[in-house]
Amino acid sequence: MPCHDDRKLFEYIVLDTFQAGLSWAIVLNKRENFRKAFDNFDPNKIANYGFKPVQELESDAGIIRNKLKIRATVTNAQAFLAVQKEFGSFDKYIWGFVNGKPIVNHHQKDSDIGATSPQSDEMSIDLKRRGFKFVGSTICYAFMQGAGLVNDHIINCFRHEAVIQGKK
């Protein structure tokens, strides 16, 4: 479903950061642990994490303890806040990559779904330019799918049309 809530969009960025190179099942099974460990995905709090909170996260068995990804989350929170300041909201910025409305694909089967798109390529380049980490085109495309910027449900999936119509 299309998401326009900045806090939720930041949550997706955090989860996508940790998903890089891993299965979604691993990350989603730890989602509540991530929520607790990262102050309910509050970018204002995370942006101010210093040495001690980062060190505590690195030893938290409830999350994925990848030092680079933990540090990237702090960096991404800082970049996220800068984007909010520049554009008024992260939502306004990120939805600009799809001209404010979801891309609706009409895939026949799962194997038709790609891992990147021209929009995810552009998003990746711009996010990196703004200081974000772990935002390659594949991660950006996964973010776009999760945040509803692209509808990749195959056409015979009950969610394909429901998402188009805005039904949860």
Instruction: Give me the CATH topology for the region 6-164.
Output: Endonuclease III; domain 1 (1.10.340)
What pTM was computed for the model? 0.92
List pLDDT tens digits, range 26-44.
999 999 999 999 999 999 9
- Please report the pLDDT score of residue 159 as a whole number: 60
How do beta strands 103-104 and 150-151 pair?
Answer: parallel
pLDDT band at 94 (very low <50, low <70, confident <90, very high): very high
> Smallest Cα–Cα separation from 15: which of 1, 34, 42?
34
Domain boundaries, the chain: 6-164
Torsion of CA 22, 27, 33, 39, to 10 degrees: 90
Q: Please, what is the end-to-end C-alpha distance for the chain in angstroms?
A: 7
List pLDDT tens digits, range 45-59.
999 999 999 999 999
- CA separation (Å) from 70 to 14, 47, 116? 9, 12, 24
Separation of alpha carbons 149 and 146, rounded Å: 8
Six token digits for residue 17 = 């950061």
